[in-house]
Structure 1
């Protein structure tokens, strides 16, 4: 039985800047979990929200939002995160049931997939993020007596620095197939850091490996500053996502992977809204218009 997380939990690393967005996603996953038509279940998500004073008054159920699903942040945007969670859950599970036994979560944040998904028993999940974020997550889960479904290895590292050495030192085997996930990560990184990350993933993977990541295609992010999602996020919880996103031109990571021999598929989130029958649909001045979900596979010879 999952209990309440105590309020003394160390929140270093998650209560400011990009770290706070991990709590936003956790709140969205909590709301999704409690929906009658939920696409993804994360029973731990609301406990992260309640353990951090900065978001103590955030909703964890849609019934706690006065305007419900009409709320741009806790309705439409939270639905987006719920859909994204489900789609990427499915991608990871397909990958490990096909060939991969190593899972690498890049910028893992408050991801609890090691705890909540049905993995093959011989899998290992590596979670890479800043030490403060991983420590906060570990403390909340420990206080809940949560047990991972598979071996879970935290890898404290800065993705703008030498995270490769930390990952291999933690036991990652580049000679074995792996599946990688960069969920809600790349658009926060400077362009050169994204290019290095993609190059590193290519070097560390063998045939039969896979990668999923989220990208934004907008040429001018600030053109969407007054969109409903960004406006509501600033006004209701004080997070200015456009301030946190890197403003430089983005590299063509899809093209880079294709040039390296990977096969790639690029989808809009709305493709999966139609597939699952729920989730966000396009609207005018839409901050989600440029979002793409990319799925890449390194073919066998």
Structure 2
């Protein structure tokens, strides 16, 4: 596949982590027992010079599933993809919500690969460079979205609320929100602002899912195989990208605002689906939590 000329948006910092997740989704897609399938993922990986040499199938990894990065960590991202796919589809199919907002959408292709109800609009919020790279790859594949897709090229540190409104978002209608793999990188105040704003913009019947880490000290896992293998094999030191300040209790805040909130470990879903990562010693996934919240109708 030709190298993407607009790859600058995913060539460094947090942007390159989108390629890591895309590679994991590609590997998951080609497994016989795949939990999620994303036929676009490998094209993102191969199009960017930063990731063109990464594996997109597990047989391309010398030690296969024993590899902490392309085995266990990639399985984690595959499981997360499936769980959040299920959340989004369940939310729109069991309610009248037809607005879906993806924060830090990165190389998410859900607007193209999921079976959305008629009338669904998917708003994708991310930095302009990331969205431009995604557009170039998908345009090259002649990919057609299965919902109305509205990219919103804005940094979450800027006025994304105004940009969302300008793009046609209606706060009077139910909405579904997703912050996948995002909160780790935000300062605590930005996370609190996001949660408070989602509450303010959500009418009854809306839903939200997001991922957080609960460790008091992320550096306690600095020598975890997941972190060290990611740094050694592809040069991404995740701990230099994460915000290391104490995190707010966003799930508790939502409960206090009247949302119905459930907090799960990833391992809960590994046991449910029968595949995925399980706890191990010195586990960088130990503090990860997936939060699901719904706002009751008045």
> TM-score, normalized by length of structure 1?
0.98
Q: Is 1:267 the counterpart of 2:270 in the alignment?
A: no
SS in 1 for 2:73: helix
1:17 Cα deviation after fit = 0.3
What is residue 196 of structure 1 aligned with on the other side? 193
Distance 1:210 1:8, change over 3 A: closer
Query: Of the candidates 109, 114, 117, which is equivalent to residue 111 of structure 2?
Result: 114
1:300, distance to aligned residue in structure 2 (A): 1.1
Match of 1:154 in 2: 151
Distance 1:12 1:126 in 2: 22
State which of 61, 68, 71 in structure 2 corresponds to 1:72: 68
| 1:110-160 per-position Cα deviation (integer Å, ceiling 9, x unaligned) | 000000000012100000000000000011000010000010000011112
Give the SS at the match of 1:30: helix
What's the CA shift string for 1:72-92, capped at 9, x where partnerless? 000000000000000000000
Q: Which residue of 2 aligns with 1:21?
A: 17
CA distance in 2, matches of 1:121, 1:58: 37
Could you tell me which of 274, 278, 283 is aligned with 2:280? Answer: 283
| Matched position secondary structure for 2:9 | coil
Question: After TM superposition, what 4+ stretches of structure 1 lie above 4 angstroms from structure 2?
Answer: none
Pair 1:98-2:94 in alignment: yes
Coordinate RMSD, CA, aligned = 0.6
What secondary structure is seen at the aligned counterpart in 2 of 1:13?
helix
Corresponding residue pairs, total: 297
Structure 2 match to 1:223: 220
* Pairwise CA distance, 1:164: 0.3
Unaligned runs of 5+ in 1: none
Question: Does residue 1:144 correspond to 2:162, yes or no?
Answer: no
Counterpart of 1:206 (choices 196, 203, 206) is 203
Provide the rounded CA distance (Å) in 2 between the counterparts of 1:223 and 1:61: 31
Q: Describe the SS at the equivalent of 1:16.
A: coil
Determine helix, strand or coil for the equivalent of 1:55.
coil
Partners of 2:263 and 2:292 within 8 A in 1: yes
Q: 2:32 aligns with which of 3, 18, 36?
A: 36
- Could you tell me the TM-score, scaled by structure 2's length? 0.99
Q: 1:160, 1:229 → 2: CA distance?
A: 28
Q: Deviations over 1:9-45 (max 9, x none)?
A: 3112111000000000000000000000000000000
Question: Any idea what the Cα deviations from partners look like across 1:236-272, whole Å, max 9, x if unmatched?
Answer: 0000001100011111101111111101000000000
Aligned to 1:293: 290
SS class of match (1:114): helix
